[in-house]
Amino acid sequence: MAGSLAERTLARPSFEAAFAAPAFLQAMFQFESALASAQAAEGLIPADAAKAIEASCRGFMIDIEAFVASGKRSASLAVPLVAFLKMDVGRHASHVHVGATSQDVLDTAMALCLKTCLDETDRALEAAVRALARKAREHRGTPMLGRTLMQPALPITAGLKIARWAVALADDRERLAEAAEAGLAVQLGGAVGALEGMGKCGPAVRHRMAMALGLADARAWHSHRNAWLDLLGRIAQVVATAGKIARDVSLLSQPEVGEMLEAAPKEGVGASSAMPHKRNPVGCAHALAAATRMPGLLAIVHAGAIAEHERALGGWQAELATVPQMADALGGAVDFLETIGSGLVIDAARMKANLQAHGEGRSTDLGPATDELLADLAPYLT
Q: Which is nearer to its own copies, 275 or 378 (CB)?
A: 275
Give residues with Cβ within 8 angstroms of 247, minimum separation 6: 284, 288
Q: Among 216, 247, 338, 352, which residue interacts with its own copies (rule: CB under 8 A)? A: 247
Nearest-10 crossing angle of helices 21-41, 47-58: 170
What residues numbered 253-282 form the site for its own copies, per CB under 8 A? 253-257, 268-275, 277-282
Contact mark string toward its own copies, 161..200, x via CB under 8 A = x--xx-xx--xx--x-------------xxxxxxxxx-xx
66: contact with its own copies by CB under 8 A: no
Rounded to 5 degrees, what are φ and ψ at 330?
Answer: -60, -40
Rounded to 5 degrees, what are φ and ψ at 254?
Answer: -55, 130
311 is catalytic: yes
Q: How many residues does the chain have?
A: 382
In the complex, least distance from residue 249 CB atom to its own copies, rounded to whole angstroms:
10
97: contact with its own copies by CB under 8 A: yes
**Given the rule CB under 8 A, which of 34-42, 77-85, 87-95, 132-140 is the region that contacts its own copies?**
77-85
User: How many residues sit in the footprint of its own copies (CB under 8 A)?
Assistant: 168
Q: Which helix (H) or strand (E) holds 151?
A: strand 151-157
158: contact with its own copies by CB under 8 A: no
CA distances from 161 to 10, 117, 118, 144 (A): 26, 28, 26, 9
Rounded to 5 degrees, what are φ and ψ at 216?
Answer: -75, 150
Q: Which is nearer to its own copies, 8 or 58 (CB)?
A: 8
287: contact with its own copies by CB under 8 A: yes
Q: Which is nearer to its own copies, 48 or 254 (CB)?
A: 254
**Interatomic CA distance for residues 308 and 295, integer angstroms:** 24
Contact mark string toward its own copies, 345..364, x via CB under 8 A = ---------x--xx-x--x-
**What secondary structure letter does DSSP report for 278?**
-
Q: Among 133, 186, 243, 339, which residue interacts with its own copies (rule: CB under 8 A)? A: 243
Catalytic residue among 311, 342, 350, 362: 311
Q: Among 309, 349, 361, 379, which residue interacts with its own copies (rule: CB under 8 A)? A: 309
105: contact with its own copies by CB under 8 A: yes
Q: Which is nearer to its own copies, 215 or 235 (CB)?
A: 235
Q: Which is nearer to its own copies, 40 or 285 (CB)?
A: 285
73: contact with its own copies by CB under 8 A: yes
6: contact with its own copies by CB under 8 A: yes
Q: Which is nearer to its own copies, 131 or 260 (CB)?
A: 260
Nearest to 24 by CA among 72, 53, 70, 62: 62
**What secondary structure letter does DSSP report for 94?**
G
Strand bridging mode 260-261 / 345-346: antiparallel
Q: Among 92, 95, 208, 234, which residue interacts with its own copies (rule: CB under 8 A)? A: 234
Give residues with Cβ within 8 angstroms of 180, minimum separation 6: 115, 118, 231
CA distances from 60 to 29, 107, 109, 179, 284 (A): 8, 20, 16, 33, 41
What residues numbered 314-343 form the site for its own copies, per CB under 8 A? 314-315, 317-318, 320-325, 328
253 is catalytic: no
Give residues with Cβ within 8 angstroms of 196, minimum separation 6: 99, 190, 202
| Residues marked as catalytic | 272, 311
